[in-house]
Structure 1
């Protein structure tokens, strides 16, 4: 199942219509969730437990994990061998792993590091409310107007349709707010 920042029940309650098609509502939520997460700089936002990231580490002491926020690190394999957490191995600092003597003994070597970690916000976390609101805002009109009709006229018939892709992009202000809230912090 794809990520969902809102539930079908959320949209049905918002629209006060419990008879909406579950499959259609689920698809809309999944698509809008993808739009929101892309606007957030590609961050998954929702909690993902035991996700695996294969990274390349150089000689420096810091290794950035790709998804934010990091809740915990279950394991780190350095060049195929497990290393322990703590002063002798690695330490987690925000979204980065620190290794006192660097990740490689040779300055120009790149070492594969496999990290299993949990990231994102847990279901129901207050931090998810902006994203949930954005998802519902992007799709609230679609169940009753799937063709995207914006205007119509009677005599000498005329119709104007909105481009669904434009609607699903959200406003520039919404995209900026999502980047500020969920984008990668440096």
Structure 2
């Protein structure tokens, strides 16, 4: 199953409906979550336990992990050898691993490092609320308008749909807010 920043029940509450097709709602939430995560530099945002990252270490003392925030590191395999945490091995600082003696002696070495770690925000964390709000905002009009119509009328009835929701793209301001909240700002 793909990441989801909201649940079908959240969409049902927003639309004030109790007859949602759960499969359709789940698919829309997964797609909107992907849009939000893309605006956040590809960060997964939701908590992922025991994710495996393969990174290449150079001569520096710092090794950045690809996803953040990093909650914990279960293991570090340095060029085929399991490393210990602590002063003799590595230390976790933010979303990077520090090794006092550096990760390689030669600037030409590209040492493979496999890290098993937990990253992202746990379910229910306040930090997820912007992403959840964005997901629900992107799909609120899409559920009942899968064709992406801008306007529709039958006899004396008419409806106009939000262009933002039909495109599931988000405004530049929303994409900037998501990048600021969840993306890498280095």
1:84 is aligned to 84
Query: Distance in 1 between the 2:53 and 2:120 partners?
Result: 14
1:144 is aligned to 144
Query: Distance in 2 between the 1:36 and 1:85 partners?
Result: 34
How big is the shift at 1:169?
A: 1.0
TM-score by length of 2: 0.92
1:43 is aligned to 43
Alignment CA distance shift 1:97-1:32 (3 Å):
same
2:129 is aligned to 129
Post-superposition CA distance 1:123-181 (Å, at most 9, x none): 000000000000000000012222121124689xxxx9988997211000000000000
Which runs of structure 1 show a deviation greater than 3 angstroms over 4 or more consecutive aligned residues? 152-155, 160-166
8 Å Cα contact 2:73-2:116 kept in structure 1: yes
Query: Distance in 1 between the 2:72 and 2:102 partners?
Result: 21
Query: Distance in 1 between the 2:177 and 2:163 partners?
Result: 23
8 Å Cα contact 1:148-1:164 kept in structure 2: no
TM-score by length of 1: 0.92
Count of equivalent residues: 182
The answer to whether residue 135 in structure 2 is matched with residue 115 in structure 1 is no
Structure 1 unaligned blocks of 5 or more: none
Query: Distance in 2 between the 1:41 and 1:165 partners?
Result: 21
Structure 2 unaligned blocks of 5 or more: none
Alignment CA distance shift 1:166-1:100 (3 Å):
farther
How big is the shift at 1:52?
A: 0.3
